[in-house]
Amino acid sequence: MSRAPLLGLVALVLLAAVIAAAACGSDLDYNKDELILATTTSLNDSGLLDELVPIFEEETGVSVKIIAVGTGAALRMGADGNADLLLTHAPDAERVLVEAGDVTDRILVAYNDFVIVGPADDPARVMGLSDVSTALAQIADSGETFASRGDDSGTHKKELALWSDIGLAPSVESDDWYLEVGQGMSATLTVANQRGAYALTDRGTYLSLSADIADLLTLVEGDPLLLNFYSVMLVDGDKGRINTSASQQFADFLVRDDIQVMIGNYLRDRYGQPLFIPAAHDTEQAIAARGGAD
């Protein structure tokens, strides 16, 4: 074979490789040593990732860039291919991404629960209730201020679902007792603390901030409807600049036995209870059936 046809054949092979790479959405120039993790503000505020990420970075040499936003925004980042990995807590919305093929896997990592917090004098008289529907109905009937995140986060989605369960859809336009903060969990709890308001929060964030929001007490807890599941999802590599290798490494890291133990022990001694309960290899259905007990 002459040199010219050989060069032509090589060029065709290279062109085919480029076309194949484009077809599967890969990008040969993306940074394989960086992982973009989109997660929730509530999880980030708890400080758990500050404990785990440095371990992963040291083990793998991969730098993790954490983008903490509301779950809705994090899920959109995944759908748009603007993150490599998602760590969120809105099961119904997450399943939509799985069904659409935006993520290739959804793996349960841990859970805790939501609680309703409020002022010590509890004007709506909900303290000690274990039925969240009854508690929310009493808060609405009382006209006492309820501080909502109002930011399309996983907590906000849960709150809206709980209101819907009792046939209510409060809004700032129609209900003067309903306050939308439009920010993360930390800011919402700070506002509730200042205003003597009620709020729905995940237990982990509440405990980690409890020293700064001393006027808020846990008033309603224990309803299975308040279980709060955290899952990691790998964004589909066909979306383009997706570090699928590091994503898989981080997902495997989170469910590793020693890391699961760390998750379960995180700040347990300080607060006398876990902020997060390990859930690798468990299912939401099984956890709910036993009432969330670990």
- Domain residues of the chain, as ranges? 29-111+228-289, 113-226
CA 87 – CA 41 distance, rounded (Å) = 11
23: burial class by Cβ within 10 Å (0-12, 13-18, 19+)? exposed
What's the pLDDT at 293? Answer: 65
Could you give the CA distance from residue 110 to residue 161 in angstroms, rounded to a whole number? Answer: 21
Residue 15 predicted with pLDDT over 70: no
Axis crossing angle, helix 154-165 with helix 132-142, rounded to the nearest 10: 80
Percent of the chain with pLDDT over 70: 89
Top CATH class of 29-111+228-289 equals: alpha beta
Q: Is the pLDDT of residue 53 over 90?
A: yes
Fold of 113-226: D-Maltodextrin-Binding Protein; domain 2 (3.40.190)
Give tens-digit pLDDT for 67-111: 999 888 999 999 999 999 999 999 999 999 999 999 999 999 999
Confidence of residue 124 (pLDDT cuts 50, 70, 90): very high
Average pLDDT value over all residues in the chain: 89
89 in Cβ contact with 232 (< 8 Å): no
On the question of a common fold for 29-111+228-289 and 113-226, the answer reads: yes
